[in-house]
Amino acid sequence: MSIDAFHRCTGVAAAMLRPNIDTDAIIPSREMKRVSKVGLGEGLFAGERYLAAETREPSPDFVLNQPEYRDCCILLAGPNFGCGSSREHAVWALKEFGIRAIVAPSFGAIFANNCVRNGLLPVTLAQAQVEDVADWVLDAPANNHVTIDLDLQRLVAGAISVTFEVDAGARQMLLNGLDAIALTQTRWNQIADFDRKRRESHPWLYQQESSMP
C-alpha cells in the first residue's frame, strides 16, 4: 500500500508549544465514531477548537481557527507531543486537516511511528530551535512560511536554517511513499533468497509442508 510521499513542504506554521499534548487532546475519543479515516479532521483538537462540541462553534482563541493559520501545513509543538494512547486516529486527523509535518523537541514513540506510516513527517529539533522558529513565524504568520526539506534534512525559516536527523528506514518510507507493508515488498528478492537458503540448510523444517495434500 502506498502513502503520500514527502520530499519538501513550504507553508504556514502554527505553534502549540505546551508540553505533553497527548493523543486524546489531538482527537478526543468521542470523535472516533467513524468507520473510515474520512471526516476525522473535523474532530482534530475538538476539545479546544470548539466552544461546544455539539454545535461546532469555533473558539476564536484557538490558533488553528485564526485566519492567518487557515492554510497551516506545519505544526510547531512542545516536548513529548503525541504521548498517551496509541490511537492512529490522531495522525489521520492531523493529516486530513492538512498537516504534513510536525516539529517538536520530542514525540511519543508510537505516535512518531504512526506519523511515518501515514506520510506525515515528525521532525525533532532542540526546544530552543523550535521556539526560535515559532517566534519568527509569530511576527507575520501568513507570510513567514517555513520550509522543511526531507531530501536535504533541513528546516528553513527566514534566516534560521537547521538540519535534522531522521531514521534511515523512516526516511526511505516517506521519500518513496511506502507504508510498512510496501517497504517489506521492496525486499522480496532478499526474502526469497533467505527462504531458499533456509530450506537448503534446514530441510527437516519443511518436511511436513511437503507431505501436505
Rounded Cα–Cα distance for residues 23 and 77 (Å): 13
Rounded Cα–Cα distance for residues 88 and 98 (Å): 16
15: amino acid identity, one letter? A
- Per residue of the chain (213 residues), what is the pLDDT tens digit? 457 899 999 999 999 999 999 999 999 999 998 878 889 999 999 999 999 878 899 999 999 999 999 899 999 999 999 999 999 999 999 999 999 999 999 999 999 999 999 999 999 999 999 999 999 999 999 999 999 999 999 999 999 999 999 999 999 999 999 877 766 777 778 888 888 888 889 888 887 765 555
Q: Which of 4, 3, 47 is nearest to 23 (CA)?
A: 47
Count helices and strands (H / E) in the chain. Answer: 9, 9
Is the sign of the CA dihedral 202, 205, 206, 207 positive or negative? Answer: positive
Q: What is the pLDDT of residue 178?
A: 82
Q: What is the pLDDT of residue 1?
A: 45
Task: Please report where in the chains the cell 496509541 appears, as a residue.
Answer: 86
Q: Which of 104, 111, 116, 130 is nearest to 168 (CA)?
A: 116
* Coil vs helix vs strand at 58: strand
Q: What is the pLDDT of residue 62?
A: 97
Query: Do residues 116 and 107 lie in contact, with contact meaning Cβ atoms separated by under 8 Å?
Result: no
Kindly write down the DSSP assignment for every residue of 82-103, as one continuous string. Answer: TBSS--THHHHHHHHHT--EEE
Query: Do residues 29 and 23 lie in contact, with contact meaning Cβ atoms separated by under 8 Å?
Result: no
Q: Which three cell numbers stand for residue 57?
A: 462553534
Q: Which of 21, 199, 204, 206 is nearest to 102 (CA)?
A: 21
Q: Which of 80, 59, 67 is nearest to 16 (CA)?
A: 80
pTM summary value: 0.86
